[in-house]
Amino acid sequence: MVYRALNTIREWLLSCKQVSRTNLAISCGTSIVRLEVGDYARTSMDPAGIGTSSSRCPFAKITNYLLRESSMLVCNTLKSLREARAELRGTVALVPTMGYLHEGHLSLVRLASEKADHVIVSIFVNPIQFNNQNDLARYPRDLDRDIELLEQCGRKVALVFAPTLYDMYPPGFQTSVEVSGLTGLLEGVHRPGHFKGVTTVVTLLFNMVQPQYAVFGEKDFQQLRVIEQMVADLRMPVEIVRAPLMREKDGLAMSSRNVNLTPEAREASLKLSAALNEALDLFRSGERGVAELKRVVHERLTGDPLIEVEYVEIADGVTLEPIVSAKENDRLLLAAFAGGVRLIDNISLENIRAF
């Protein structure tokens, strides 16, 4: 695989003291693979892209090696992103992710490809949206795997932007973007500072990628609403596209964090979707009392020693404010730990079964 081979070369080049991670980028395209290492590297490369060190060779800029195995561009720096973005003609849809992709992410890519001429997927584990450093450390990462999954989408993905921390938050960075109101509820209570990190990084990505569309899933429903509000308030020239929450065959909401579940916790986690459906069935039967609907969810979840409920709430589908009497299109949202892994889930209260 082109990207894996280039990554191996990159790691080798990083052993040269003149090369640092902050000035290195890989770009893979239909007819070109370009390995950029700042201005210079202590190496020489032959036309086939095979590296050989030479003490007699002066520093040489490494660029433009013809390889045709990949139809997708991979950019690791803002400079390479902007150069590649300038070549795209027509509309662009951005799918922002933190990587460790699954079928839920790929469904966003497919939806994005229906909306725009080109799809750009960003992969960046954003440290400033984690209020728990252990959670950040445990977040799964495998860029090679992600690239392979996106390559399997055929030509749906034009470009992957996997920036370094330096490109997103260079030394001296001191600006943030924050939405009030919507962020003071639910996740905002239990993860202080989380949404400030989300809105800041999404604003950066919008500015860097300049998309006409951006696709966000309903799995993180509060995040979706926060982004929609930010775009509306700041008159950002991008249309937010909602994508439905994707589930495993047994009902578990797809999440990158699911990989951290033990077999026992994985089994226990199924009670989250089961509890949501019990409440939905009760709603469909005519129950509108929020207290009773929430009681049913709590009752299903609290009997399992592997499940620790953080919150269960029924909120207005637009404002996310808590309500007393449920109505169509309100949201039932919950967060719980399954074997120590934090999971979130939600459904829209409708007179049809969600799953």
**DSSP bridge pairs for 213:** 93, 239
Structural tokens at position 101: 């992709």
Q: Examine the residue annotation and report whether 105 is marked as an active-site residue of this protein.
A: yes
User: For residues 155 and 183, what is the distance between their CA atoms, to the nearest angstrom?
Assistant: 37
Q: Give the Å distances, CA to CA, from 199 to 33, 87, 169, 186, 245.
A: 33, 27, 14, 16, 21
Max CA distance (Å), the chain = 82
**In the block, residue with structure tokens 């749906």:** 156
Type and span of the H or E element at 208: helix 194-209
Give me the half-sphere count of Cα atoms (radius 13 Å) on the Cβ side of residue 48: 2
Type and span of the H or E element at 104: helix 103-115
CB atoms within 10 A of CB 231: 19
Structural tokens at position 120: 């750009």
Q: For the purposes of burial, counting CB atoms within 10 Å of the CB of 278, is it exposed (0-12), middle (13-18) or buried (19 or more)? A: middle
**Sheet (strand 341-348) strand order:** 307-315, 331-338, 341-348
3-class secondary structure, 29: coil
DSSP code of residue 328: T
Annotated catalytic residue within 105, 118, 190, 298: 105
| Per-residue exposure over 130-166, b if at least 16 CB sit within 10 Å of its own CB, e if not | beeeeeeeebeeebeebbebbbeeeebbbbbbbbbee
Catalytic site residues?
Answer: 105
